Chain A
Amino acid sequence: QVQLQESGPGLVKPSETLSLTCTVSGGSISSYFWSWIRQPPGEGLEWIGYIYDSGSTNYNPSLDSRVTISVDTSKNQFSLKLSSVTAADTAVYYCARYSNYGGNSGGWYFDLWGRGTLVTVSS
């Protein structure tokens, strides 16, 4: 079955760039939207953005100026870069598949998730 796995540094210094990669195994990254979602310790879920296999993206407006999501279909991976991080960016970062159920009249749901990786911003 399809599985997602996040990887990247667990500690990032303030003002630097957070970089994470999500590897999709057991299936192709093609023909799906792929997303990053984060969760600060003890808080709720915040959508960061998503990318299609073509490379088209959509970002959370509150993070738009600092976020870049890219995809490498040859490696079955997609990546997140978040620049100029502060302590407020400390969170568990999840990658997830964003799927349409029901065609044009159906909704969009995060139906497959990675286990998540904790990224701490600290000097």
Chain B
Amino acid sequence: EIVLTQSPGTLSLSPGERATLSCRASQNIKSNYLAWYQQKPGQAPRLLIYGASSRATGIPDRFSGSGSGTDLTLTISRLEPEDFAVYYCQQLETFGGGTKVEIK
């Protein structure tokens, strides 16, 4: 069973800054099987990135995904106020533990 470990647990940044979130798999995964989700308080998760690097419908281009093998990354190029949320990676039926991006 694959385990997805996300780091850091919490990222404290200011609007306009760049956010880099990591998702490490316990074994090599097909990178095109990895997704990223955004969850705001009181809301359901929303699919952001699929296939490691493809943006889902309606997702702004400041969100980008990269990586392969066991190390995948979600980058938010310039944080907007609405981007402060929790982000999860997912591969098939397994989710990572999440990274909270909070306002510094």
Contacts and interface: CB of A to CB of B under 8 A. Distances in A.
Given A107-B32, A113-B46, A47 B51 contact: no
Interface in A75-108: 94, 96, 101-102, 105-108
A121 B10 CA distance: 30
A107 B44 contact: no
Nearest to A115: B44
B45 interface: yes
**Chain A binding site: helix, strand, loop or mixed by DSSP?**
strand
Interface residues of B, number: 25
Nearest to B32: A107
Contacts of B50: 101, 107, 109, 111
A20 to B, nearest CB: 14
Given A45-B88, A101-B51, A108 B33 contact: yes
Given A107-B32, A115-B43, 5 more contacts: A45-B45, A47-B93, A106-B32, A109-B50, A114-B44
Interface of B: 30, 32-35, 37, 43-47, 50-51, 54, 56, 88, 90-98
29 contacts: A44-B95, A44-B96, A45-B90, A45-B98, A46-B95, A58-B93, A101-B54, A102-B32, A102-B51, A105-B32, A106-B32, A106-B33, A106-B51, A107-B30, A107-B33, A107-B34, A107-B50, A107-B51, A109-B35, A109-B50, A109-B90, A110-B37, A110-B45, A110-B47, A110-B90, A111-B56, A113-B44, A115-B43, A115-B44
